[in-house]
Structure 1
Amino acid sequence: MKDLNNMWKARTWMKTNVPFLYSWHAYVGYELDLFEAFKKPVRAEDVADAYDLEEELLNQWVEVGVALKHLKKDSKNRVKIAKAWKLPGSKKDSPSSGDLLKEMMELHIPSLLHYPELMKEKKRQHFDNEKHGSTVAKTSTLLEMLAFRLINQNVKKHQTASILDIGCGEGGYLLKLAKKHPDLQLTGIEINKEVAESAKKATANYDQVDIVQGDIHEYEPDQAFDYIMVNNLLHYIHPEERKEFFSKLNEITEEKGVITIISPLQKAKYGKQFSSAFNSFFMTFDNLYPIPSEEELKNIAEECGFEQQNPFPIIREGGWFFVKWVKK
């Protein structure tokens, strides 16, 4: 009976792990640009030669792709992508779902796999912003497609004249806002030098945009802002330091000004599985911190002179929310 039970458990876990194969296969295809290579029917050995890849491994990746129906073979043994709409495509299309896969496979999963070691040795890893900042910035850009509408609505509603984007990444929000609102004064601050340079290049044709490379904790602007954006940032700030952080933002927010926060939330109505996974990932590092709960943000808002409105879900499956504060 015990053997049957163990076999049943083994089969159950094998079935549970099947979805990971789809992610792994898509990640390898994206990282090596193989879905671009197989856009048209071509033999695997020709792709191995053209891309200078180990042929046996490529053939095995193709076989997995055929089994998963990411790829298909014709009668001449040529390979072509199937259901292209499901696949991440080429790196030249970045930012895309491929960037999300890259972050998951190169950063999230390896960190989670270190859990036994970290727990036994009672230690944490250190997040290298210079190494991973660019990838994280690209995945953050994917949120823009869903969140920008909400930000733009608030810009109009509050008759905004000036905006500060803290942790502006590659400047995606600022670029979109500059195109829609030529009279807006836009400032972005980004700690990662490479990412800040990308933001400067992206917004170079818009004189109304100023990109500052630096740490928000050391940033001393010479003005207050109507609207401050805090997007995908709170896990970089220790929970005990968040009140101080937002107290400083209160000082540079105009009267009746607005702060909007985009972040996963703990124990929220939606996305509890993903938000708990996010926390598990963040907590493997000594310089990343747990995501906040709605209640934590509400308490900080009240203590720092803001009124919090009901969070709005952006990505329900992932527990991502849009939170709005208005200065009292």
Structure 2
Amino acid sequence: MIGEIVKVWRARSWMKKNVPFLYSWHAYVGYEMELFESFTEPATIQQVALARNIEMDLLEQWVEVGITIKHLKRVEDDKVTTRNRWKLPSSKSDPHSSGILLKEMMELHIPALLSYPQLLRNRTKQHFNSNIHGSTVAKTSILLERFAFPKVQKAIKNYGVKSILDLGCGEGGYVKRIGERHPEMRMVGIEIHEAVAKAAEESLQAYQNVDVMCKDLHEYDPEERFDMIMANNLFHYIDPSERLQFFEKASTWLEPEGVFFVLTPMQKSKHGKQFSSAFNSFFMTFQNLYPIPSQKEMETLAGKTDFTVDSVEPIVKEGGWYVMIFRKN
């Protein structure tokens, strides 16, 4: 009897733990299908289904969940409207929408984590297809700009930076922000994904002192040195056995007393241990992605090359995201 009670208790416990997933799932569907916008003004389920040409039964169920978790509410004449809009992801037209993070989590992270049993049985790993997912990952990185850019600005001011190399520049978000404030700054952005590099070129075409190159950073060999190198969201693309060589290259590409600015989630950090461990679990399902570094590893790499650690600061504590600044000796 006691054994049966324990089993029921465990089942109920896991059901309760799964409830928070409904909030993320519902917000993701609402963002991806732009349904929160459809219900900005009160409307019936039928009106929205017909206007959007989508399956009404599924929309009705999505609405029911939304009402239950208070993303939506019923109003007069069977109409429904969005509730607490400020808490929900903004539309796809907003490059800083939190929906971008939900999209990456639902379409990349969760499927990868669900593949663990199969990968464990087959003793194999997946291949991360950057042509398919590169754009989504680049857009997720845009969200971090809001947190990290003040640190970039501070570094430019404190170290008198006049030239910047952005490795893995994505769609050029950091470069564009810097260019708007420092039009005289000489900048080069390196991006391996062709579609993402093209988007960066289009975004930055008005800036005369900016060059974007579609290259693998391992094959890049600059003609001039830089005052600062940025490597944001990059270390999980670099094999740990090649990270020392990467630090050495960064040192040769920098002017004397140049700055190496690194933004990365870190494992075994003081903040965000749960998220960073899940992040690592996701990366480890792919044969061409690698574990995120620890602070100790980064400090060791700096000690073996020509760098001194100037600062280590968390910028998103919940996610274990840090900015590390290294100074060339």
TM-score for the superposition, normalised by structure 1: 0.99
Structure 1 residue 120 displacement after superposition: 1.0
Which residue of structure 1 lines up, in the alignment, with residue 167 of structure 2?
166
Deviation digits for residues 112-155 of structure 1, max 9, x if unmatched? 00001101110000000110010000110100001000111110
Contact in 2 for aligned 1:96/1:139 (Cα 8 Å): no
Whether contact under 8 Å (2:95, 2:142) holds in the other structure is: no
Q: Which moved more, 1:308-317 or 1:253-262?
A: 308-317
TM alignment of 1:24-39, pairs within 5 A: 24-39=25-40
Q: Does 1:208 align with 2:242?
A: no
CA–CA distance in structure 2, aligned partners of residues 162 and 217 of structure 1: 21
Q: Which residue of 2 aligns with 1:21?
A: 22
Per the alignment, residue 225 of structure 2 pairs with 224
Task: Read off the aligned partner of 2:64 and give its amino acid letter.
Answer: E
Q: What is aligned with 1:187? A: 188
Residue of structure 1 equivalent to 2:81: 80
Distance 1:33 1:291 in 2: 33
Task: Report the 3-state secondary structure (helix = DSSP H, G, I; strand = E; otherwise coil) of the residue aligned with 2:250.
Answer: helix
**8 Å contact 1:30–1:98 — kept in the other structure?**
yes
Structure 2: tracts of 5 or more residues without a match? none
The question of whether the paired residues in 1 share the 8 Å contact of 2:264 and 2:323 is answered with yes
* Unpaired segments ≥5 residues, structure 1: none
Percent identity of paired positions between Structure 1 and Structure 2? 52
Shift of 1:323: 0.3
**Cα distance in structure 2, aligned partners of 1:43 and 1:204:** 45
Letter in 2 for 1:223: E
CA distance in 2, matches of 1:90, 1:155: 33
**Equivalent residues in 2 for 1:289-308, closer than 5 Å:** 289-308=290-309
C-alpha distance in 1, partners of 2:51/2:75?
A: 20
Q: Deviations over 1:142-184 (max 9, x none)?
A: 0000100011111011111100000000101000000111111
Q: Does 2:328 align with 1:327?
A: yes
2: CA distance, partners of 1:320 / 1:117: 30
**Equivalent residue, structure 2, for 1:259:** 260
Give the number of equivalent residue pairs. Answer: 328
Supply the distance in 2 between the matched residues of 1:311 and 1:128 (Cα, whole angstroms): 32
How much does 1:89 deviate? 2.2
Q: CA deviation at 1:4?
A: 0.5
Q: Is 2:311–2:326's contact at 8 Å kept on the other side of the alignment?
A: no
CA contact (8 A) 2:262 2:325 kept: yes
Alpha-carbon distance between aligned partners in 1 of 2:131 and 2:305, rounded to the nearest angstrom: 32
* Correspondence 1:85-234 to 2 at 5 A: 85-234=86-235
Instruction: Give every structure 1 segment of 4 or more consecutive aligned residues whose post-TM-superposition deviation is greater than 6 Å.
Output: none
1:61 aligns with 2:62: yes
**Could you tell me how far 1:71 is from its partner in structure 2?**
0.4
SS at 2:212's partner residue?
strand
Return the letter of the residue paired with 2:99: G
Deviation, 1:248, is 1.0
Q: Residue 310 of structure 1: CA displacement?
A: 3.6
| TM-score, normalised by the number of residues in structure 2 | 0.99
1: CA distance between counterparts of 2:104 and 2:285? 15
Contact 1:125 1:285 in 2 (8 A): yes
Cα distance in 2 for residues equivalent to 1:37 and 1:93? 16
Amino acid at match of 1:163: I
Matched residue, 1:275: 276
The Cα shift of 1:325 comes to 0.3
CA contact (8 A) 1:161 1:185 kept: yes
Give 1:197 shift.
1.0
Q: Retained in 1: the 8 A contact 2:104–2:137?
A: yes
Q: Is the 8 A contact 1:270 1:317 kept in 2?
A: yes
Amino acid at match of 1:8: W
